[in-house]
Amino acid sequence: MNHEPHELHEKGAEKKQVLYREECYAIQGAVFEVYREMGSGFLEAVYQECTEEEFQTRKIPFLAQSEIPLFFKGRKLKQVYRPDFLCYEKIVVELKAVKEIDDEHRAQIFNYLKATKMRLGLPVNFGHFPKATVERFIL
């Protein structure tokens, strides 16, 4: 799993575009608008509802808490994953309202990426003060 900066970066002489750059900027804009309006201190469920509303307002395509099937040795499990959002049919967005994103949260987004076969995950933390944070994980 790799972290990726939000801007263009150079590797040797070649420039490489950030994965899903425009889509991520749209998602981040919605997240920062929710934080600007609500601030920190609410439960995750409040931010889930607000973010859903903001995604709709900004016409960001998403599925909220959709069930992702899990498999073990080729067999479908009864248990499922429910990421907070699947955006643009290619980005997993997982909301948190904690002081800091820790390794347990990072493992969760990593597992969501494996389960969905998507490449990009954005853990969002509304609990960080003085601003919301968005990390990028690429599988």
Whether 94 maps to a domain, the answer reads yes
Tens digit of pLDDT for each residue in 125-135?
A: 999 889 999 99
Whether 130 maps to a domain, the answer reads yes
Whether 9 maps to a domain, the answer reads no
What is the structure's pLDDT at 3? 52
Whether 119 maps to a domain, the answer reads yes
Give the count of domains, the chain: 1
Q: Tell me which long-range contacts 35-40 makes (C-beta under 8 A, separation of at least 24).
A: 35/126, 35/131, 35/132, 38/126, 40/97, 40/126, 40/127, 40/128, 40/129, 40/132
Whether 10 maps to a domain, the answer reads no
Tens digit of pLDDT for each residue in 81-99?
A: 999 999 999 999 999 999 9
Whether 129 maps to a domain, the answer reads yes
In this structure, what CATH number is given to the domain that contains residue 121? 3.40.960
Q: Mean pLDDT over residues 102-128, rounded?
A: 93
Whether 95 maps to a domain, the answer reads yes
Q: Which pTM value belongs to this model?
A: 0.85
Q: Which domain holds residue 75?
A: 15-138
